[in-house]
Amino acid sequence: MESPLIDKGHNSLSTVLQPWHVGVDVGGTKIAAGVVDTNGGIRVIYRRSTDTSSPQASLSSIAEAVEQAITESAIPRQHILGVGLGIPGLVDADKGIGIASVNLNWQNVPVKAALEGILGLPCAIENDVRAAALGEVRFGAGRGLENILYLSIGTGIAISIIQDGKIFHGLNGMAGEIGHAVIERDGPLCKCGGRGCFEAMAAGPAIARRAWSKIQAGRASMLVNPNRADALTCEEVFQAAGLGDSLACETLQEVGKDIAFVLQFLFLFYEPQLIVLGGGVSLAGQLFLDPIIKSLEQQAAESWVLAKVFKPQMIQLTTLGRDIGILGAAALCTPPR
């Protein structure tokens, strides 16, 4: 579900005078800057490409996106209280430094100080998945909750831990990099160098690979196309599953089992109030969610301990849709209510 854009024509004094924040979803190819109210209503979104030719150039493109979004929103600048940025990669949120981002070609970039210098507004930065979880407890499925986990499954996998309403970072900000926990010894090679990582088994590219390997083994499927040399996409697998293709459905059941295997650890480790599933793969909706819930229900039926900490309603898809990057970033500078 997309967050509704607020009617730009509705420019009453109370609308303009309330506090606003800018949430910036910073990607390696695109930047989306949204002007957001304290309830998670998005007034305007400005999108542009990211110039990654140098850290200076990428910071300039972020600053330009923020300025354009503020201009288009027609909110007086004094009512913009801050700018939050969700960044792909390792971030020192306290110091405001982008420690390492492959997508942005960053190493130890003083993001907060540089952008505050350009924009003249308080800035806060965070890893994008960590920020998304904060978006969920402020504006989304976990609204009002204090202890949730947010599992993002897209081209990669990571979780974010919200503990007592705050993001839990671990020793060096790596807490949540569960995509590189090995769930199958000697499994497929992962981009981190390891084998059988959760990400190499269940992220978007892995879902496509698992279906493709079944086709290569000679299985029948509507996905078989002799004129096609390149591998499948994850979206194609979900589409075929939606049409009842047995190979695609079987693939999603296997992936669902692997995700459920990791989720049972998370429920037993943290006993969270809720686990929210997000990321590009989660946009497939029930086709993605149903095999996970089914598998966890089977496990819980066999273990009273798991049954104590897991109920089907404790796993939900994000309600923030594609705007979660903007809303999570805006939540970085929105005080809890």
Minimum Å distance from CB 242 to Zn ion? Answer: 29
Task: Please state, in angstroms and rounded to a whole number, the distance separating the CA atoms of residues 128 and 26.
Answer: 8
Closer to Zn ion by CB, 193 or 335: give it.
193
Task: Please state, in angstroms and rounded to a whole number, the distance separating the CA atoms of residues 310 and 300.
Answer: 7
Closer to Zn ion by CB, 198 or 212: give it.
198
Minimum Å distance from CB 195 to Zn ion? Answer: 8
Minimum Å distance from CB 159 to Zn ion? Answer: 14
Closer to Zn ion by CB, 35 or 153: give it.
153
Size of the site for Zn ion (CB under 5 A): 5
Minimum Å distance from CB 261 to Zn ion? Answer: 16
Closer to Zn ion by CB, 44 or 203: give it.
203
Closer to Zn ion by CB, 190 or 263: give it.
190
Closer to Zn ion by CB, 36 or 200: give it.
200
List the interface residues with Zn ion, window 167-196 (CB under 5 A).
180, 190, 192, 194
List the interface residues with Zn ion, window 212-271 (CB under 5 A).
none
List the interface residues with Zn ion, window 54-83 (CB under 5 A).
none
Minimum Å distance from CB 205 to Zn ion? Answer: 12
Q: Does 102 bind Zn ion (CB under 5 A)?
A: no
Residue from 62, 119, 157, 197 that binds Zn ion (CB under 5 A)? 197
As a three-state string, the secondary structure of the chain is: CCCCECCCCCCCHHHHHCCEEEEEEECCCEEEEEEEECCCCEEEEEEEECCCCCHHHHHHHHHHHHHHHHHHHCCCHHHEEEEEEEECCEEECCCCEEEEECCCCEEEECHHHHHHHHHCCCEEEEEHHHHHHHHHHHHCCCCCCCCEEEEEECCCEEEEEEECCEECCCCCCCCCCHHHCECCCCCCECCCCCECEHHHHHCHHHHHHHHHHHHHCCCCCCCCCCCCCCCCCHHHHHHHHHCCCHHHHHHHHHHHHHHHHHHHHHHHHHCCCEEEEECHHHHHCHHHHHHHHHHHHHHHHHCHHHHHHCCHHHEEECCCHHHHHHHHHHHCCCCCC
Minimum Å distance from CB 252 to Zn ion? Answer: 22
Minimum Å distance from CB 178 to Zn ion? Answer: 10
For residues 129 to 168, the per-residue mask of contacts with Zn ion, x marking binding by CB under 5 A and - elsewhere, is ----------------------------------------
Closer to Zn ion by CB, 17 or 192: give it.
192
Residues at the interface with Zn ion (CB under 5 A) = 180, 190, 192, 194, 197
